[in-house]
Amino acid sequence: MMRSNLQLAKWAVTGHLPSFDEYLDVSGVEIALYFTLAGILMGMENICKKEAYEWLKSRDKLVRALTAKARVLNDILGFEDDMSRGYVTNSINCYKKQYGVTEEEAFGKLHQMVADLDKMVNEEFLKTINLPHHVLKIFIIDTLRAANVSYE
């Protein structure tokens, strides 16, 4: 998380816009969802904590989809505030740069991306077998509910 914060700070100071994919990779860690999920795991009793931790550490597709969704939602909802503070390194601007689209088109594509990530989370939830299903249910569904409530 510290490396991600440092990289984002460097980009902010220089006004650098990385590619959208690079931005999501770095900023997805910075959104602190990994810490949140690790905290949830630590608080759960009677589960296979070592296996759950290893699964989380592996950055499974399910976890990557959750972090991407959280990052993109955060950037969409905080865009005007970020721009008013001169902070231009965000999902919208990186998407615009990489794909050569307008701001309006970027917002539309990112909203669609959030919907697609929700579908991916559902699909991965059904496929993941590294953890007991009841652990994933509590772990993922409750985290998604919390994210949806906080962003609404």
The pTM for the full model equals 0.80
pLDDT at 92 over 90: yes
Q: How far apart are CA 11 and CA 140, in angstroms?
A: 31
The domain spanning residue 135 has which CATH number? Answer: 1.10.600.10
N residues, the chain: 152
* Confidence at residue 28, expressed as pLDDT on a 0 to 100 scale: 78
* Confidence at residue 125, expressed as pLDDT on a 0 to 100 scale: 77
For the chain, the C-alpha Rg in angstroms (whole number) is 16
Domain span at residue 145 reads 2-151
DSSP characters for 50-65?
Answer: HHHHHHHHTT-HHHHH
Specify whether the CB–CB gap between 30 and 55 falls below 8 A: no
What tokens appear for 30 in the block? 């910075």
- Top pLDDT among 46 and 113 is at 113
23-51 residue pLDDT tens: 998 887 777 777 777 777 777 776 667 77
Q: Which residue has the tokens 């460097």?
A: 10
Residue range 62-83: average pLDDT? 90
Q: How many domains does the chain have?
A: 1
Least confident of 43-52, 63-72, 88-97: 43-52
Q: How far apart are CA 145 and CA 69, in angstroms?
A: 13
